[in-house]
Amino acid sequence: MSAGDVAVDYFCKGYNCGQSASVAFAGIAGLEVERVLSMMAGFGGGIGGTRELCGAVSGMVWAIGAGFGEYDPQDNEAKTRLYKIVRAAIDEFKAEFGTTCCRDLLLSAGCLPKPDPSVRNAEYYAKRPCAHFVRFAADCAEHCIRDTEKQV
């Protein structure tokens, strides 16, 4: 299963976009799945329902950081390398969907953004574009991590 497949699976179980996009990367972070789900719980709905930065993008960035690994905080080259990878991933997301703003992503799909989570049912899943976002974000993180590993 690809990271994107895992992300969609979790999203369709009712987990939020941030949780879903990041959960496939629990192992590389050295964490249990439940811990990642807990850590990312507040990132749904564009971070706590504010409808700002898409939770799938937050999950993607978390996953890239987990895959990149630790580095000396004084190592500007390593930090710069990580920031470039993150910016490239965000640029890919923007190229695919036009924005990283949850509110705008929902509006462009004809969904009315609101601060509280919606009830998950067949109508929700038929209407909401979020499964596409979590799949893309998780697959993008997976590719970034794989490409980074090849360079090391």
Cβ neighbourhood burial of 53 (10 Å; 0-12, 13-18, 19+): middle
* CA–CA dist 118, 10 (Å, integer): 16
Joined tokens for residue 97: 């969907």
Judge contact between 78 and 71, C-beta under 8 A. Answer: yes
Query: Please, which pLDDT band fits residue 131 given cuts at 50, 70 and 90?
Result: very high
What ranges do the domains of the chain cover? Answer: 3-151
CA angle 134/139/142 to nearest 5° reads: 125
Mean pLDDT on 56-62 = 99
DSSP string over 70-105: ---TT-HHHHHHHHHHHHHHHHHHHHHHS-SBHHHH
Mean of the per-residue pLDDT values for the chain? 96
Mean pLDDT on 111-137 = 96
DSSP state of 118: P
Q: Which of 147, 142, 144 is nearest to 27 (CA)?
A: 142
* CA–CA dist 19, 38 (Å, integer): 8
- Give per-residue pLDDT as tens, 64-122: 999 997 889 999 999 999 999 999 999 999 999 999 999 999 999 999 999 999 999 99
Q: Which of 64, 30, 62, 58 is nearest to 46 (CA)?
A: 58
